[in-house]
């Protein structure tokens, strides 16, 4: 679409009242467990505590009120607080959230629909996010270069759905105009290795999908080049996740939410698997 990295030390021995010098030195030099020439082994550091927002990590459905209007929303929140979501009014929102008690804060970027800009004259707007969590709902408001509201109302999958692997994404996918932000039909192919391409008669798109830990969360990066001038390179990065088949009537789908490194182009949508 054509749119939206780090003295010398001195040691002072202080003698406590009533403690003989020999005893004090004995404490220093007579300690068992270390021999001359050995260095002290650092204590094992405890594992870092998960971010508080991690309890809300997963894939979500909800709604958004943006400068364009009010629309349903799909998105993903990672355990470290990074998130991406897109609304059916073709707006994509990304950023990072932190949770303190029930209060949510963060910063983000709102990406405009294809062919439109914000009052700043750009296709992206920097915003601050504030909100609350209540039960299983995350409500956010954002303001800055744009303003609006996002509600993550229904968690469709927890983030640690470990049975989903990178190879499960393999296949060919199609997205109709109504289900993506570009307003155009789109086709992509993902190999079991994560190699990604979406080439057609006008552009060459090649990249890689990488799983984040064991979560149903995948980093996506690809290079976008128009076939008319392959020197014009645009790099897109973002997130993806799998929506497994629901019975025999609904095939697997993949949500892909990416934006260009300059913030001026974006693509997000739901892609239905058309073949393995």
Q: pLDDT of 130-159, one tens digit each?
A: 999 998 899 999 999 999 999 999 998 886
Q: pLDDT of 199-222, one tens digit each?
A: 777 889 999 999 998 889 999 999
Return the pLDDT at 182.
Answer: 78
Residue 135 region by backbone torsions, left for phi larger than 0, else alpha for psi between -120 and 50, else beta: left
Return the pLDDT at 48.
Answer: 58
235 HSE (CA, 13 A, CB side)? 5
* Cβ contact 223:209 at 8 Å: no
Residue 79 region by backbone torsions, left for phi larger than 0, else alpha for psi between -120 and 50, else beta: alpha
For every residue of 35-85, DSSP letters joined together read: -TTPPPPPPPPPPPPPPGGGGG-EEEEEEEE-SS-EEEEEEEE-TTSEEEE
Return the pLDDT at 29.
Answer: 42
**Mind listing the domains of the chain with CATH numbers?**
52-158 (2.40.128), 166-275 (2.40.128)
Query: Residues with Cβ < 8 Å from 275, sequence gap 6 or more?
Result: 171, 172
pLDDT tens by residue, the chain, 276 residues: 444 433 433 333 233 344 443 433 343 344 445 555 555 555 566 555 568 999 999 999 999 999 889 999 999 999 999 999 999 889 999 999 999 999 999 999 999 998 899 988 999 999 999 999 998 899 999 999 999 999 999 998 886 655 789 999 999 999 988 788 877 788 999 999 999 998 777 889 999 999 998 889 999 999 999 999 999 999 999 999 998 887 777 889 999 999 999 888 999 999 999 998
* Cβ contact 40:122 at 8 Å: no
Query: How far from chain centre, in Å, is Cα 91?
Result: 17
């Amino acid at each position: 679409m054509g749119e939206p990295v780090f003295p010398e030390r001195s040691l002072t021995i202080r003698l406590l009242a009533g403690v003989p010098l020999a005893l004090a030195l004995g404490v220093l030099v007579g300690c068992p467990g270390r021999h001359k020439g050995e260095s002290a082994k650092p204590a094992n550091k405890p594992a870092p505590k998960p971010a508080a927002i991690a309890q809300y990590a997963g894939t979500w459905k909800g709604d958004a009120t943006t400068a364009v209007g009010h629309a349903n929303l799909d998105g993903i929140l990672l355990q470290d607080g990074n998130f991406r979501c897109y609304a059916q009014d073709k707006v994509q929102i990304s950023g990072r959230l932190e949770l303190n008690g029930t209060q949510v804060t963060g910063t983000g970027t709102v990406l405009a629909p294809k062919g439109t800009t914000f009052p700043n004259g750009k296709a992206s707007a920097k915003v601050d996010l504030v909100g609350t969590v209540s039960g299983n709902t995350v409500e956010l408001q954002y303001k800055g270069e744009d303003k609006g509201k996002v509600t993550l109302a229904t968690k469709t999958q927890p983030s640690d759905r470990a049975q989903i692997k990178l190879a499960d994404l393999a296949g060919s996918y199609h997205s109709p105009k109504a289900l993506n932000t570009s307003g155009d039909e789109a086709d992509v192919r993902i190999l079991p290795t994560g190699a990604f391409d979406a080439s057609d008669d006008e552009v060459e798109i090649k990249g890689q999908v990488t799983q984040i830990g064991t979560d149903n969360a995948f980093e996506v990066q690809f290079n976008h080049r128009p076939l008319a001038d392959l020197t014009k390179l645009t790099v897109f990065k973002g997130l993806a996740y799998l929506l497994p088949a629901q019975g025999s009537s609904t095939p697997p789908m993949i949500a892909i939410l990416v934006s260009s490194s300059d913030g001026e182009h974006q693509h997000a949508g739901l892609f239905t698997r058309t073949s393995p």
